[in-house]
Amino acid sequence: MDIPERLRNALFGSIIDGLPYFCLERWQSLHENTASIVLSESGVHPLSLLELEEYGVDIHSIHRQEIGYGWTRGSPELRERIAELYGGAAEAEDIVVTNGSAEANFITILATISRGDTVVVDVPNYMQVPGLLKWIEAKTIYLWREPPHWKFPVGKAVELIERYRPRAIFVTDPNNPTGSYMSRGELRELADAANRAGTLLVFDEVYWGSERGEAKDSVVQIVEEGNAVSISGLSKVYGLPGLRVGWVAVKSERIVERLLGVKDYTSIAPSILSDYIASKILSWSNVEKLRRRAKELVERNIEILKKELSNRGGIMEIYWPSAGAFIWAKIPWTLDSLKLAYELFTKYRVLVNPGECFELKGYLRMGIGQKPELFGKSIKFVLSSIEEIQKHYNEG
């Protein structure tokens, strides 16, 4: 089954000169509303408005909310709640609330990187950051993670920092798509090298709080004032992607000013309704409860998946994640994971993400954050569909 030229172009072509299409988001947007089984999400099953009451949010109080612009940088109450996540390392004035962590990434790049700056980028990655760096013509050095552990290569990063003294290093920690995250010691080693070279550490920490093992610290808790940016949001671990609440945390008045300056060009303000709901839900006890919910969903689905796979040899090799709500899997019998994902969608209405959208062939990323009852049914069908496709590949 050939991939139509139009689709190929929408995934791998350019929007305008220098700005590549964002393969992963395009792939999902084109298919997620017509797929029957959606395993393309990287966060946990979303909460309903009604479920928010279980977290102490009085949804009737929203009725009285005037739908104005609100606070362009996020309300003081919401920024206070967000700052608390950093355990004393950040304050409300260090927070800029954005429309999802996607906007946080966008404004951070425009506020900190200029054309021609040398930057180092963690790959594979959610490819928004590499795409934007290309657009603004930064000199980008890819720092590849490698199987089987997909750990961030701290030693190599230190070498690159010492050699090139880059303007910034962009890391997604915990990483999407590999689910690996750095230990405190590794983070400290990286931070020391970055401080010596004056390199800004920009960490996308949208999966922070989903660690299956030892809890991770934010980069802002480890690094000297002003030299680290933490980006995060409520979409993944907290099950609230539709609020579109993300943020940047940085202890630098200069960077905060610039972020606000760029945000005036993008969205002006977060939605006042989202700001209100987020500020009510982000009490510390709710944060713990929501993180627990996310981990429980993932653990139960991992168990289900392991059991299902034990009866089916050789269709995929899974790198079990240390965090996140997705798995990263090698497909040992084909390098053409785009074709596999396309066939899964067109023949079986199953949506998973092809490795090609992470610039790696022969891999799939699949979500494991759904409700286990549904996941159990879906995964059986998905694995059987992959087996059928594999059979045809072998025959053909």
CB of 232 to ligand PLP, least distance (A): 8
* Of 102 and 200, CB closest to ligand PLP: 102
What is the DSSP secondary structure assignment for residue 217, as one 8-state letter?
P
* Of 152 and 348, CB closest to ligand PLP: 152
* Of 97 and 389, CB closest to ligand PLP: 97
CB of 172 to ligand PLP, least distance (A): 5
C-alpha pair distances (Å), 196 with each of 100, 191, 369: 32, 9, 40
249: Cβ–Cβ under 8 A, 6 or more apart, which residues?
Answer: 82, 83, 86, 90, 94, 95, 218, 220, 229, 230, 231, 232
Q: Which residue has the tokens 């909310």?
A: 65
C-alpha pair distances (Å), 211 with each of 249, 292, 298: 20, 10, 11
CB of 94 to ligand PLP, least distance (A): 19
* Of 324 and 362, CB closest to ligand PLP: 324
- Residues pairing with 231 in the sheet: 204, 248
* Of 24 and 389, CB closest to ligand PLP: 24
User: Which residue is nearest to ligand PLP, using beta carbons?
Assistant: 100
CB of 300 to ligand PLP, least distance (A): 22
CB of 368 to ligand PLP, least distance (A): 14
C-alpha pair distances (Å), 16 with each of 19, 122, 134, 261: 6, 25, 12, 24
* Of 127 and 389, CB closest to ligand PLP: 127
Within 178-249, residue ranges assigned H as helices are 184-197, 219-222
* Of 101 and 274, CB closest to ligand PLP: 101
CB of 353 to ligand PLP, least distance (A): 10
CB of 182 to ligand PLP, least distance (A): 15
* Of 174 and 372, CB closest to ligand PLP: 174
User: What does the block give as tokens for 170?
Assistant: 């962009």
> Is the bond preceding 147 in cis, omega lying within 30 degrees of 0?
no
* Of 70 and 233, CB closest to ligand PLP: 233
- Residue 125: how many CB atoms within 10 A of its CB? 23
User: What does the block give as tokens for 378?
Assistant: 């879906």
CB-neighbour burial class of residue 292 (10 A; exposed 0-12, middle 13-18, buried 19+): exposed
**DSSP assignment string, 89-151:** S--GGGEEEEEHHHHHHHHHHHHH--TT-EEEEEES--THHHHHHHHTT-EEEEEE--TTT--
CB of 42 to ligand PLP, least distance (A): 5
CB of 357 to ligand PLP, least distance (A): 11
**Interface residues with ligand PLP (CB under 6 A)?**
42, 100-102, 126, 172, 176, 204, 206, 233, 235, 241, 246
